[in-house]
Chain A
Amino acid sequence: MKIGVIVFPGSNCDRDMYHVLTDVFKLDAEYFWHDKGLPKNIDAVILPGGFSYGDRLRSGAIAAHSPIIKDVKKMAEKGIPILGVCNGFQILVEAGLLPGALLKNTSLNFMCKWTSLIVENNKTPFTNKLKLHQKIPIPIANGEGRYYVDDETLKKLKKKNQIVFRYSEVVNGSSDRIAGVCNEDGNVVGMMPHPERAAESEINPIDNKPSSLIFESLLTTIGVKN
C-alpha cells in the first residue's frame, strides 16, 4: 500500500502531511510532482494545503489544470480514497471533483485559529473510525475558506450524505457551517481545516486523538484492501 502526496508549485503543507503519514502513522508515502502522472500502484491520494501558483486567478484554479489531475480524476472514478486539505480542497472543487466553491472569509482576512469540527458522515475512507457527531479540535488557516453552495445543491448534499464535517461554531460564514464534503461515492473528501496539524499531542493543545482517527481511518481502509 502506498499513498501519493501531490506537490504543486506553491504547495506548502506537503512536508507536514508527509511527516504525519510516514513518521507518525508509519504509512508508506511518496511525493509526486504535478507535471507527471501517477503510477498504478497508488492506494490513496492526498492533495496538501498551500498556495498553488500563488493563489493566482483564484485559489486552486490553475493547479486544477495540472497534468496530474487527469490521473487523480481517473482514480476518483475507480473509488480510490482521495483527500484534499485546504488548498487541496480548493483544487478538488476547481477540478470539479467536489461540489461548491470556496470564497473569501466573511472577515475578509486570512484566519489562523483553532476551532472544532463535528463529524457528519463517518462512512468515508477518512472518517470511518470516528463516531458520528464526534468533535475534532483542529486549526484552520486560510483566506478563502468559506464554503459556498446554492440552496439546491445544499439540499442534494444533505440528501446524499455528502456533508462530512461541520464547524461547531460560526467560523467564516460557510454555508450551513460546512467545513468538509465528499463526492456522491464518498471516496473523494475535501476539508478546509488541517488534520495534519492536529494529529500529534505535541502540537495539539487540546486533544490529538480525534484528528489521529482521520489517518487511522485511512490506514484501516487501505489496509483492509490489501
Chain B
Amino acid sequence: MSLEPQELDDLTSKIGRKPTSTELQIVAAEWSEHCSYKSSKKHLKMLPMKGPLVISEKGYDSGVLDVGDGYVITAHIESHNHPSAVEPYGGAATGVGGVIRDILSAGTRPIAIFDGLRFGDIEKDLQARWLFKNAVTGIADYGNCLGIPTIGGEVEFDECYSNYALVDVAAIGFGKKKNLIKNYAKKGDLVVLLGGSTGRDGIGGSQFASDSLESENRSAVQIPDPFIEKLIIEAILEARNQNLIHAMKDLGGGGLSCAVSETADALSIGIEMDVDKVHTRESDMNPDEIMVSESQERMLIVTDNAKLKKLQEICKKFRITCSVIGHVTSNNMMHVKKGKKTCANLPTDVVANATLLDRPSKKPAYLENIEKEKKLKPILDYSKMMMKFISSPNIASKIWVYGQYDHEVGIRTVVKPGMDSSVLRLDNGKFLAAKIDGNPKHCYVNPREGAIGCFEEACRNVVCTGAKPIGMLDHLQFGNPENPEIFWTFLESLKGLTDFAKYFEIPCIGGKVSLYNETPSGPIKPTPIIGILGLIDKTPLYSQKITTGDCLVIIGDTKNEMGGSEYFEYIHKFVGGKCPVVNFQESKTNMNIVLDLIRKDLLKTVHDCSKGGLAVAVSEICMTHQIGCAVSLEKVPGPKLDVDRILFSESHSRYLLVLEKKNLKKLEDILKTSKASYKMIGEFGGENIRFNKENKQVIDLRVDKAQKTWSNSLRELVVHG
C-alpha cells in the first residue's frame, strides 16, 4: 500500500519536499495502476475515440453518444475482479454500484446493466461454484433493488480463473442532451460530498486491485447498500433538473483522493477541503483513512452558495446526507486540512498524472507451438457427444442467471435476454441493442485475432437484431504487466481492437484496463471484453415463430479454425490449434447484407454462429423455438472439411437466417448480387435436430429432450452439484 521507491523520489522532487503521511496515501491511491493506468495509458491512445455521434467533454466518467432528437445515451464498463474473488456477493454488487454512478455523473438516468462473469471450472471446483452463485446474487440484489434492468451479459468458465473471478459490469444511461452535466467550476464554488457515510471499508481498494491477489484482504472490499444508491440516483436527477450541479464525479477507486484530484485537474481548478466536514461512519477515523476509504454510494458535487439550499432540501426529502467539505480555489492545488491543520497540499496535476511507464514486451514462448494440433480421439457417437456438449457449463442456457435479474423493469426491454442481444426502446422512437462479449480461449491461442473476434462477435450479436454498431466499450483484463510476455499479449490485443475499430469506424467511447489478474497458479488468459452499442432507427427484428417448412440459410464460410474452440477444449481437453481469424472485408460484407435483409423484412429470426460452432447455433434456434430441423452439412459453404470441423468450428462472420420458403427466392436474388458466401443448408420441421452429411446421419437429437437438458443443466449443477 505504498509507492515504489522510485515513485517516492519522483514525488519528492516534484513537490520539492518530503511528502506528509496523508500525501503519501493520496498519491499512492492515485498513482496505483487501477487509477492511473500508468502501464497502459500511452498505448490506449491508439484506439479511435472520435466519431460523428460521440460527444466528448472534460471530466466525464462515461462515454456519451448522440442518438438524435435531443437525446443521448451514456455507457461505461468496469470490473470488480479482486474484491469479487475474495467476497463475491459484495464485490459484484459494489461493481454494479460503481458503474451506475459513472452513468449518473454525466447527468443521465441509468437504464440498463450488463454483466460478464468468469470463474474456474464449476463442474469440479466447489469454490468456483460458490463464487459464481454469490456473484450472481450480488448483482441481482443490487440491480433489482435499484430498478435498473440487467438485460445481458455472458458467463464463462475456464480453469485459468480457478481461485479467482472476473466480474465485469457495464451500464447504459439515457437522457436529454441539454441535461448533460457541463462540468465547470469557478473560484468560491462549494464542494459537496453526497450520499453514504465514509467508513473503514474499502480502504486501499485501488492498491489492492493493483497487486496480485495474494491474501484475502476483506477490509479492502466495500459494503453494498443499493437502497442508498437508489435514493442518490433520484436525488441527483432531481438536482440536475433544477440545474443545481456545476460538476459531478462519483467516488470509486481511490475514494476522495481520486475524486478530488481528478475533478480539480480536469477543470483546472484547486480544491481546499476539510476532512472534519466529511460525514463518517466511525468517529475516530484519521485523515489518511478518510481520504482513501472506498465506501460506496458517494458522489462529489460542485455547486455554488445560491444553489446549496435547494440541494440540501432535495437531500432532506430523500433523507441522504450531504456535507459541504470544501471550496474551489484558483491555485490548482489540492489542499486537505483537518480543521486548521494542513494534512496535504499538492499540485493537482502531480497527483492526477502519474508518470507513465514504458513496459517492455516480448512474445510469449508458449505461442511458438500453439497452433500445432495433436491427433484427436475420433468421436464415435456425435449425438451422445452433443447432449454432453449442450449441458456443459459454457454452452448451457444461462437462464438460471438472467432469470434472477429483473430484466423488465423500466419497460424498455423489447427484446429480452436469451437472444443474441437485448434491445431497449428509447423515447425518440429509436431502439438500442447492446451486447458484451469476450473469448479468453481464442485470445490465449492468439491474443490479436482473439480480441478482434470478440469485437466482431459483439457486433454480430447486435446486427442480428437489426442494429448498426455505433460505439464500443473495451475492458482489457490481463495478468501482471511487469511480465513482458503478458504485456505483449495486452499490446497485441489492443492493436487488433484498434485495427478493427478503425476499419469499421466504430469509436471506442469508454473502457477500462484491469491488470494484475493473477491466480495462485498463474496469470489469467488474456481476457479483453468488448461491449457494442447498436442503434436501430425504425424497428428491431422481433423473432417470429418458426414453423414447418421454414428455411435455414447460412451466411459466411466455415473454416478450419478450431483453436480455442469449446469442442477442442471441453470435449478433447486440448488447448491449441489455429484460432478463428476475422477477414475484415468479409465481415463488413456479411454485416451489411444481414442488416439489409432485416430491413427488407425477409427474415423471421437471425442467430449468430459462435461458441460451439454451427451445431450449437442451429440447436439453440431449435431449442428456443421448440421445433426440429434437418441440416445438410455438405452444403455448408467454405473449404472441404471433416465433419467435426464443420459442426464445431468457431469461424467468425457467420449468421444463421430463418425465413419462410416463399421469401427464399427474393433472398437469393439479393445475396447473389453481394459478395457474401451463403447457402440454404436446412429446413425446419419435426421433433428432431438432425445433421446429415451426404445422406448419412451424423447427429439426431429430440428437441424436447435437448431443450430440457440445455435449460436446466446450469441450475442443476449450481443448486444440486
Contact = CB atoms under 8 A, between A and B. Distances in A.
B410 A56 contact: no
A171 to B, nearest CB: 12
A50 B226 CA distance: 12
B144 interface: yes
B147 A197 contact: no
Most chain B Cβ neighbours within 10 Å, of A54, A112, A143: A112
Given A13-B147, A51-B145, A51-B230, A112 B406 contact: yes
B406 A141 contact: yes
Contacts of B226: 51, 54
A53 B228 CA distance: 9
Interface stretch (B157-165, B411-419, B495-503): B411-419
A110 interface: yes
Given A12-B146, A51-B227, A53-B227, A196 B404 contact: no
A28 interface: no
Interface string A73-86: 00000000000000
A37 to B, nearest CB: 16
A202 B425 contact: yes
B411 A50 contact: no
A8 B407 CA distance: 21
B423 to A, nearest CB: 10
A16 B410 contact: yes
A55 interface: yes
Interface string A176-204: 00000000000000000010110010110
Contacts of B225: 54
A112 B403 contact: yes
Given A110-B404, A141-B144, A16 B409 contact: yes
Interface string B389-413: 0000000000000111111111111
A205 interface: yes
Contacts of A194: 408
B144 A51 contact: yes
Contacts, number: 81
Interface string A108-143: 011111000000000000000000000000010101
Nearest to B540: A202
Contacts of B405: 110, 112
Contacts of B412: 203
Contact of A9 (B140, B318, B404, B542): B318
B152 to A, nearest CB: 13
Contacts of A111: 403-404
A49 B146 CA distance: 12
Most chain B Cβ neighbours within 10 Å, of A16, A109, A143, A196: A109
A10 interface: yes
B141 interface: yes
30 contacts: A9-B230, A9-B318, A9-B319, A10-B227, A12-B145, A12-B409, A13-B147, A15-B410, A16-B409, A16-B411, A19-B411, A50-B147, A51-B230, A54-B230, A55-B145, A109-B137, A109-B403, A109-B404, A110-B140, A110-B405, A112-B404, A112-B408, A141-B409, A194-B408, A197-B409, A197-B411, A200-B411, A203-B411, A203-B414, A205-B416
Interface of B: 137, 140-141, 144-147, 225-227, 230-231, 317-319, 402-414, 416, 425, 542
Q: Which 8 A-B pairs have the closest CB atoms?
A: A12-B147, A54-B227, A51-B145, A141-B406, A16-B411, A112-B406, A197-B408, A110-B404
Given A9-B230, A16-B410, A51-B147, 9 more contacts: A10-B231, A13-B147, A13-B409, A16-B409, A54-B227, A110-B405, A111-B403, A112-B402, A141-B409
